[in-house]
């Protein structure tokens, strides 16, 4: 876990590398999240929409960013998490989550976040605020 | 078709969910959550937690429990084929754990246009609370609707 005294502007969070997203991953996420939009799980529907294949839920990648943050700070210290969905994540994409502290205001760190695929495509950008104050 | 500005402020149906440990564990597993406290009740207990913690983004799942979670959009005349999820934000106020019951109360907060109407934006704000009304989180979703007929 991070300690406030070790964090400064420029600190990089340890990257979180996820396995390649399989059709099973998408089916399990659909079930666990309740997002059953068939564009993410049904090849026939994806084809009928003019796509070659299904693509991953954007909220799957946002959940990965949640895992990046909880690997760095206890969840009760996360104050906010915000993302913009910049590009589609294809099935079989291999995401890596990264974060960098870009501001420190008192004990609150602002962390710039990204999810990037193996081919360099940035699929999500965003930021989180994390209060690193030790427990009182 | 243009979304009418008068829908701003419309309250959408509330959804109540009791957080079942198995469901939270499934979400943590499906999303590669590395920390065992999110999946293993014994690990959570050993960490001094009252149950499995709700992962940071799981709160968006509450509204998806409705039989037709996108009825509010189609009710605005939106064709779901042209819908993109543009942005998502969570502001956290308190933790929640397995066993808790949460209420999600969504509202259409804003509607605006860009590119001469070729893109329409709907902002849905959802307050998530415990059943006693104490705040857990506020969620903002920005839904982008493309209008294929409008040339920008």
Asked whether the beta carbons of residue B57 and residue A82 sit closer than 8 angstroms, the reply is no
- Across the interface, which of A32, A67, A78 has its CB nearest the CB of B23? A32
Asked whether the beta carbons of residue A32 and residue B34 sit closer than 8 angstroms, the reply is no
The interface predicted TM-score (ipTM) is 0.95
- How does pLDDT run across B119-151, given as a tens digit for each residue? 999 999 999 999 999 999 999 999 999 887 765
* Mean pLDDT calculated for residue range B12-41: 96
Asked whether the beta carbons of residue B87 and residue A83 sit closer than 8 angstroms, the reply is yes
Give the whole-angstrom CA distance, residue A59 versus residue A64. 9
**In B, which residues are within 8 Å of A82 by CB distance?**
87-90, 140
**In this model, does residue B103 exceed pLDDT 60?**
yes
**In this model, does residue B152 exceed pLDDT 60?**
no
- Across the interface, which of B32, B86, B92 has its CB nearest the CB of A80? B92
Instruction: Please report the pLDDT score of residue B150 as a whole number.
Output: 63
Asked whether the beta carbons of residue B56 and residue A49 sit closer than 8 angstroms, the reply is no
Asked whether the beta carbons of residue B86 and residue A84 sit closer than 8 angstroms, the reply is yes
For the sheet containing A95-105, what is the strand order?
A: A16-17, A95-105, A108-117, A122-131, A78-85, B83-92, B135-146, B119-130, B101-114, B15-18
- Across the interface, which of A25, A31, A63 has its CB nearest the CB of B57? A63
Which residues are CB-contacts of B16 (< 8 A; sequence separation ≥ 6)?
B101, B102, B103, B104, B131
The topology under which CATH files domain A3-131 is Thiol Ester Dehydrase; Chain A (3.10.129)
Please give the interface size between A and B, counted as residue pairs whose CB atoms are below 8 Å apart.
104
* Domain ranges across chain B: 5-146
**In A, which residues are within 8 Å of B23 by CB distance?**
32
**Closest residue in B to A28 (Cα–Cα):** B30
Number of Cβ within 10 Å of residue B21's Cβ equals 16
Instruction: Please report the pLDDT score of residue A136 as a whole number.
Output: 52
Determine the 3-state secondary structure of B111 from DSSP.
strand
pLDDT tens for chain A, residues 1 to 136: 567 778 999 999 999 999 999 999 999 999 999 999 888 999 999 998 889 999 999 999 999 999 999 999 999 999 999 999 999 999 999 999 999 999 999 999 999 999 999 999 999 999 999 999 876 5
CATH 1.10.10.10 fits B5-146, yes or no: no
Q: What per-residue string of b and e applies to B108-139 under the rule 16 or more CB within 10 Å gives b?
A: bbebebeeeeebbbbbbebbbbeeeeeebbbb
* Domain ranges across chain A: 3-131
Interface with B, mutate which of A75, A76, A113 (most B CBs under 10 A): A75
- Across the interface, which of B26, B56, B140 has its CB nearest the CB of A66? B56
Terminus-to-terminus CA distance in chain B, angstroms? Answer: 15
- For residue A70, report the phi and psi dihedrals to the nearest 5 degrees: -75, -15
β-strand A122-131 against A108-117: which pairing, if any?
Answer: antiparallel
- How does pLDDT run across B58-68, given as a tens digit for each residue? 999 999 999 89
DSSP calls for A56-88: --HHHHHHHHHHHHHTTS-GGGEEEEEEEE-S-
Least confident among A31-35, B3-7, B77-81: B77-81
Distances (CA, A) of A115 to A28, A33, A84, B141: 20, 20, 11, 19
Least confident among A24-28, B95-99, B113-117: B113-117
**In this model, does residue B40 exceed pLDDT 80?**
yes
* Mean pLDDT calculated for residue range B11-15: 96
């Amino acid at each position: 876990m991070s300690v406030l005294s070790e964090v400064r502007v420029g600190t990089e969070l340890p990257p979180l590398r996820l396995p390649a997203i399989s059709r099973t991953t998408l089916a399990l996420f659909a079930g666990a999240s309740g997002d059953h939009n068939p564009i993410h799980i049904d090849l026939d529907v994806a084809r009928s929409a003019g796509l070659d294949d299904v693509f991953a839920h954007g909220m799957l990648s946002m959940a990965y960013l949640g895992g990046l943050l909880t690997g760095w700070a206890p969840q009760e210290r996360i104050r906010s998490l915000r993302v913009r969905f910049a590009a589609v994540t294809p099935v079989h994409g291999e995401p890596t989550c990264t974060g960098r502290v870009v501001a420190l205001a008192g004990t609150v760190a602002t962390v710039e976040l990204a999810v990037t695929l193996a081919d360099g495509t940035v699929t999500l950008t965003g930021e989180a605020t994390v209060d690193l104050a030790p427990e009182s | 078709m243009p979304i009418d500005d008068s829908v701003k402020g419309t309250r959408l149906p509330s959804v109540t969910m009791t957080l079942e440990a198995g469901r939270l564990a499934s979400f943590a597993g499906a999303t590669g959550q590395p920390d065992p406290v999110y999946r293993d009740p014994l690990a959570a207990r050993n960490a001094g937690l009252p149950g499995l913690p709700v992962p940071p983004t799981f709160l968006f799942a509450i509204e998806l429990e409705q039989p037709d979670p996108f009825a509010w959009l189609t009710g605005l005349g939106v064709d779901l084929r042209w819908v993109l999820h543009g942005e998502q934000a969570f502001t956290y106020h308190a933790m929640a754990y397995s066993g808790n019951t949460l209420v999600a109360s969504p509202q259409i907060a804003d509607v605006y246009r860009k590119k001469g109407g070729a893109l329409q934006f709907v902002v849905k704000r959802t307050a998530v609370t415990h059943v006693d009304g104490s705040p857990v989180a506020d969620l903002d979703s920005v839904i982008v609707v493309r209008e294929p007929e409008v040339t920008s």
